[in-house]
Chains A and B, each alone.
Chain A
Amino acid sequence: MSVSEMSPAPDAAQQPTLDVRDLCTSFHTRAGVLPAVRNVSLRVQPGRILGLVGESGSGKSVTGFSILGLVDEPGRISGGQVLFKGRDLTRLSASQLRDIQGNRVAMIFQDPMMTLNPVLRVDTQMIEAVRAHSPLSKREAREHASRTLALMGIASPEERLRAYPHQLSGGMRQRVAIAIALLHAPDLIIADEPTTALDVTIQAQILSEVQKLVREQGTSLIWITHDLSVIAGLADDVAVMYAGRIVEQGSVADVLDRPQHPYTQGLIDSLPSRNQRGQRLRQIPGMAPDLLSMPVGCAFAARCPRASQVCAQEPQPHEARPGQMVRCFHPGAADAQ
């Protein structure tokens, strides 16, 4: 049974914007081959938000980079398909890919200065980005840029256009970076922890704008984060990653309310808000395995309260509950154990 068959069932009527099948990405370093992403399969429908959750080193960012063809040496996509509206992005030439990047697909980084050039004014950068993919005059491009900034809730966009990135606050910079990603109304946006470095009030403002735009424009969004609470409020579906693999996947209501994988349960249990005030927090013992010397079988087994002999083999993804994929030999509610 292939992994993709077990992904959450799509609405039969619609072709998914993104269909990732068995994606593998590894980094070939002097110390050895690091399997950063292993057999990741996921689907995003138009107008849906997928939350990709994991801790540092779980491969969530590399998954996002791989989908958009942004993995640099020594990283290499070593297997699988990335079907974007039916086209396999991993098979495109560099110039074909460039036509799509920033146009039909876009990326928002954690640090807006990854997107922005510090020595160019915002208008220069935005006009350039508009004209890279559409034959508008400079004036039209500037008007379009101004409208997009306003869409992101930026007051007095004309003034902001004339500013250099360092003259803007962190929240404002991130809004500009998001506006640049939105310029061509892409079908797919991958956002890699864009609000992690921001204050809660600014985060809430950006989340509200993004939520509105996705619904209005029918964009598919993958929101990569380590913060389950953000996912709970923002996303429709969620995929939990651990040591390069998706260990659990399904709708937000299913996965967060009825987690089947012990790792997902551990993550949720260790949130302070899920514990009694002042009591010790329930914690997952140990730490994530070293990708260079990955244990045989289930990568979580060493930290898992349910681990048994069978966990020395690699668990295959299967449907634990309808529409909820789990990669575990002992799935089930925490109470059942």
Chain B
Amino acid sequence: MPSDQIPLIELHQVSKTFGKAVDKRSLQGLLQRLHLTRAKPLTHAVDRVDLRIMRGEVVGLVGESGCGKSTLGRMVAGLLPVSSGTTSVDGRPLDSLTTRERKALRLKVQMIFQDPSSSLNPRLRVDRIVGEGALLHGLTDRKGADDYVSAQLQRAGLSPQLRQRYPHQFSGGQRQRIGIARALAVQPELLVCDESVAALDVSIQAQILNLFMDLRDELGLTYLFISHDLGVVEHLCDRVIVMYLGRVVETASVDDLFARANHPYTQALLAQIPRFDIRSTRYDAIQGEIPSPLNPPAGCHFHPRCPHAMARCREEVPALREVSPNHQSACHLNDQR
């Protein structure tokens, strides 16, 4: 198979649960039954999700807070172990590899976080922050580190003269650039951006988004772009995945999704974005809030808020099915059409 048809990263039926089910017969179970300790709740943050990202693609991952998009992003970046399911990088399942091979493959995926001030060590100078990973992985040596760091900073749009400074001496936009330089320093192929521009002002946000697009052209980077800002996603991404309470409800190309959203949740979400070109909106809100993932509704998770909910939605989980080429949606309504 030619390499361009093997996904750069593929997650197959991955789930992430937090907390642990307790065996009733164990000591813990006994204590719980006697009400001496309380059961730790079991949270399904991500529930059997498939995700494949091809080389060079920009994939957007959207959803409300608590829908599991950050958890999924962290699993893609290898920062969280999966509870079940498999991850393959370049078509090679990670479970089948030795620790060393896995480490090398993992290096290909780097993460850029939302809050640049809490993701940079305040006690380290910029050159350590950016250079440490590259040194550790042998991408540069002590002698060449200075030049290497300067090159990375320049790529991220920062003056190399600033490399002796500490993170607190920078503005928010500059700090985000340091985070980007740090990610670039280990020569990744995929960047997972978790709300990376959410904390920035509009004018700075535009600068960072432009930087992402320049880097894509220069280095052929692939992106998983996690955001709640649909405007940003629409501008930047090729394909969008919509999540709701740990499940993927719809995935389609950007044009398709914004023009012909299929799932009622996506439709509602699109209707709620404040639009610059619409004046004096009468906000017509979808009712209710996202339910707690501790105790998700049965059947389709969206049914308590869905205007089209039927009896079947309360019992049966809708499967993700193709509604048109490259456009999948998980909704029972599609069976009736």
Contacts and interface: CB of A to CB of B under 8 A. Distances in A.
A277 B277 CA distance: 16
B280 interface: yes
Interface residues of A, number: 44
Interface stretch (B5-13, B126-134, B136-144, B200-208): B200-208
Nearest to A169: B289
Interface string A256-289: 1000000000111011111101101111100100
Given A204-B272, A284-B203, A199 B65 contact: yes
Contacts of B171: 287
Interface stretch (A23-31, A87-95, A183-191, A225-233): A225-233
A234 interface: yes
Interface residues of B, number: 44
A272 B231 contact: yes
B206 A270 contact: yes
Given A55-B203, A233-B283, A267-B202, A272 B274 contact: no
Contacts of A55: 201-204
Contact of B207 (A229, A234, A283): A283
A132 interface: no
A282 B235 CA distance: 12
Contacts of A287: 171, 173, 203-204
Given A204-B285, A211-B283, A287-B173, A282 B276 contact: no
Interface in B178-215: 201-207, 209-210, 213-214
Given A56-B201, A272-B235, A273-B235, A284 B283 contact: no
A200 B269 contact: yes
Contact of B276 (A56, A205, A256, A281): A256
B337 interface: no
A270 B207 CA distance: 9
B275 A226 contact: no
A199 B235 contact: no
A9 B16 CA distance: 59
Nearest to A208: B283
A268 B203 CA distance: 9
B22 to A, nearest CB: 25
A205 B286 CA distance: 7
B79 to A, nearest CB: 24
Contacts of A233: 274-275, 278-281, 283
Contacts of A333: none
For A171, A277, A282, the residue with the greatest tally of chain B CB atoms inside 10 Å of its CB is A277
B201 A226 contact: yes
B232 interface: yes
A77 interface: no
Contact of B279 (A201, A226, A232, A272): A232
A202 interface: yes
B45 interface: no
A51 B334 CA distance: 42
A227 B203 CA distance: 11
29 contacts: A169-B289, A199-B64, A199-B65, A199-B290, A201-B286, A203-B274, A205-B287, A229-B273, A232-B278, A232-B279, A232-B281, A233-B274, A233-B275, A233-B278, A233-B283, A234-B274, A234-B281, A256-B276, A267-B202, A270-B203, A271-B202, A271-B276, A272-B206, A272-B209, A272-B231, A273-B275, A278-B236, A280-B213, A283-B207
